[in-house]
Amino acid sequence: MSDETTASAARATAGAIGHGTLVDPRGLSARTDRAGTTRPAVVRTLAFLRKLYGLVQRYFPQFLIAGIAFAILKVYANGGLTLMGAQIKNALVLGAIYALVAIGYTMVYGIIELINFAHGDVFTLSGFYAFVIAGLSGGAIGSLATHSGIGLLLALLIIFPTTMVAAGFTGVVIERVAYRRLRDAPRLAPLITAIGVSFLLEGLMLVIFGADNRPTKLSSWITGRAVRVAGVDVNWKDIFVVATALGLMFSLGAFVRITTLGKAMRATAQDRSASLLSGINVNRTISATFFIGSALAAAGAIVYSINYDLIQWNLGYQLGIIAFTAAVLGGIGNIVGAGVGGFIIGVISVFGGQLAGGEWSNSLVFAILVIILTFRPVGLFGVDVTTRA
C-alpha cells in the first residue's frame, strides 16, 4: 500500500470534517446576511452614490442637454443676445470641423475596431496637400479664387476633389501598409502601430514643412459678411464651413444607407465573415472606408484653412483628440453620432471657454471624455446603430 492511499484512508476514517470532502459542511449550515443590522454611514453613502451613478447613466443625454442649455442661457444672461449669437456661430464653425474629423475616427472604428490615432495627422497632412495644391503654378488657383465668383467656384471644384482624393489615397496606403497585416492580431498591436504612424506623419511634416505654422492663403478666398443677425456678423466663410460640413455629412449618410458600397461597409462592420460569404470584398470595403474617412478629414482641413488660414505640423494632434472625443460622445462607430458629437463638442468648447475661461476649454472637453467613458461608454447614440458603418 502506498503512502497516498494510507493517507486518504486515514482521512476517511477521521470523519466528515477535513480535507477529504468535496462539500465543506460548514457551508451547509443556515446563514443570515447583515441586512438586518444598521448599515454604517460609509455604506449608506456608497449606496447613494451608486443610485446617483445609475441616475446619471440612465438620463445621460438629458443631463448633457440640460447642461448645454444652461450654459447657453447663462451666456445670454451675462452677455446678451449678441454674445450668445456670436458664440453659437463660433461653436457651429468649430463643431463643423470637429464633426468632419470625428467621422473618420468613427468609420474606421466601426469597421475594424481600431482607434486610428493617425487620423488627426491625416487631417494635418491634407491641410498641407491643399496648401501645396493651392500654391501650384505660382498660386494660380488662389488668384482664380479671388478673381470672381465663378473663379471661386472653379477653385473650390479643383481644390476639394484633388485634396480629398490625395488624402483618401493616403488613408488607403496607411491601412494597406500598417494595419492590414495586423487585422487579426491582438487589439493592442494595431493601436500601437497607429500611434507609430501618427509620429511618422508628424515627423515627416515637421521635416518637410518646418516647425512653424504656415499661412495657407486660403482665407482670402471667401470674404465678406453675409448677414447681420442680432448684432452678430455672420460671414460667408462661416456659412461656407458649416454648409460644407453638413452637406458632406448628409451625403455620406445617404451614401452609407443607400449605395451598395455603403451597405457593404455596414455589413462588414457587423459581421466580417458573413460579409465575405455574401460576396463582399472585405479588403476593398475597408480600403474604401479609410478613403472616405480620410477624404472627409481633408474637407475638414480645407475648411479649416479657409477659416483660419494656417496649417502646422502638429495641428492634428490636439484637434484629433478632440474630434475623437466627439466620436466617443456620439457613440464610436456611429456616423450620425460623430456628426452630432462634433457639434456638441464645439458648443462645449466655446461656451465652456466663455463661462469658465478660455484656458479651461480643452480641459472641459477631456472631462467630457472621462464622463462619457464612466457613465455611458456607448455614447449618446451608441445603442441605435442604424447608420453604423
Partner 1 sequence: MILTKRLLPVVGVMGIAALSACGTSSTSSSSSGGGGGNLASCQGTFTVATDLPLTGGDATDGPPVEKAAHLAVTQALANKTLGGCTLKYVSKDDATVLKNGHDPAQGAANITALSGDSSVVGVVGPFNSSVAVAEIPIASQNHLPLISPANTNPGLTQAGTSASIDTNSLYPGVHSYFRTIGTDITQGEILAYVATKELNFTKAYAIDDQETYGKGLSTFFQKSFTADGGTIVGTASLPGTTKQFQTQVADAQSKGAQVIFFGGTSGNGCGILRSQMPASIPELGGDGCQDNKFITDAASNAAGAQVTSAPDASKLPTATKFYSDFKSTYNEDGTESPYTPYGFDGMNALIQAIKAVLTANNGQPPTDPMTFRDSVAQQLHKLNYPGATGTVAFDKNGDTTQPGFSLYTINGTAWAPKQLLTADASGKVTVAS
Partner 2 sequence: MALMEINNMVKRFGGLMAVNDVSFAVDSREIVSMIGPNGAGKTTAFNCITGLYPITTGDVLFDGRSITGQPPHRITRLGIARTFQNIRLFSFMTALDNVMVGAHSWMSAHVWDSVIKSPRARADERRVTDRAHDLLDQLGLSRYAGAYARELPYGLQRRLEIARALATQPRILLLDEPAAGLNPQEKKELMALISRLREEGLTIFLIEHDMRVVMEISDRIVVLDHGVKITEGRPLEVRNNPQVIEAYLGHGAAERMADA
Contact residues toward partner 1 (CB under 8 A) are 79-80, 82-83, 86-87, 90, 93-94, 206, 211-213, 215, 217, 219-220, 233, 308-310, 312, 314-315, 318, 349-350, 353-354, 357-359, 361-362
Cβ atoms within 10 Å, residue 339: 30
Q: Which amino acid type is present at position 286?
A: I
Question: What track of x and - describes contact with partner 2 for positions 238 through 267 (by CB under 8 A)?
Answer: -----------------x--xxxxxxx-xx
Q: Which helix (H) or strand (E) holds 272?
A: helix 272-276
Residue holding cell 493616403?
A: 170
Q: Is 119 in the site for partner 2 (CB under 8 A)?
A: no
293 binding partner (options partner 1, partner 2, none; Cβ < 5 to 8 Å by kind) = none
Q: CB-wise, 111 or 310, nearer to partner 1?
A: 310
Say how far apart CA 69 and CA 81 lie, in whole Å.
Answer: 14
Residues in the interface with partner 2 (CB under 8 A) total 28
Q: Is 271 in the site for partner 2 (CB under 8 A)?
A: yes
Q: Is 143 in the site for partner 2 (CB under 8 A)?
A: no
Say how far apart CA 349 and CA 80 lie, in whole Å.
Answer: 19
Output Rg (C-alpha) for the chain, integer angstroms: 28
Q: CB-wise, 172 or 232, nearer to partner 1?
A: 232
> Quick one: which segment of 55-63, 69-77, 88-96, 276-284 binds partner 2 (CB under 8 A)?
276-284
3-state secondary structure of 232: strand
Say how far apart CA 121 and CA 112 lie, in whole Å.
Answer: 19
Residue among 36, 149, 186, 279 that touches partner 2 (CB under 8 A)? 279
| Least distance to partner 2, CB of residue 274, Å | 4
Quote the Cα angle for 225-227-231, to 5°. 100
Say how far apart CA 44 and CA 71 lie, in whole Å.
Answer: 33
| Least distance to partner 2, CB of residue 121, Å | 24
Handedness of CA 7, 12, 14, 18 (dihedral sign): positive
Q: Are 268 and 280 in contact (CB under 8 A)?
A: yes
306 binding partner (options partner 1, partner 2, none; Cβ < 5 to 8 Å by kind) = none
| Least distance to partner 2, CB of residue 379, Å | 15
Say how far apart CA 389 and CA 336 lie, in whole Å.
Answer: 10
Q: CB-wise, 97 or 296, nearer to partner 2?
A: 296
Residue among 284, 318, 357, 374 that touches partner 2 (CB under 8 A)? 284
183 binding partner (options partner 2, partner 1, none; Cβ < 5 to 8 Å by kind) = none
Interacting residues of 260 by C-beta distance below 8 A, sequence separation 6+: none
Residue 323 in grid coordinates: 474630434
Q: Which residues bind partner 2 (CB under 8 A)?
A: 255, 258-264, 266-267, 270-271, 273-284, 288, 385-386, 388
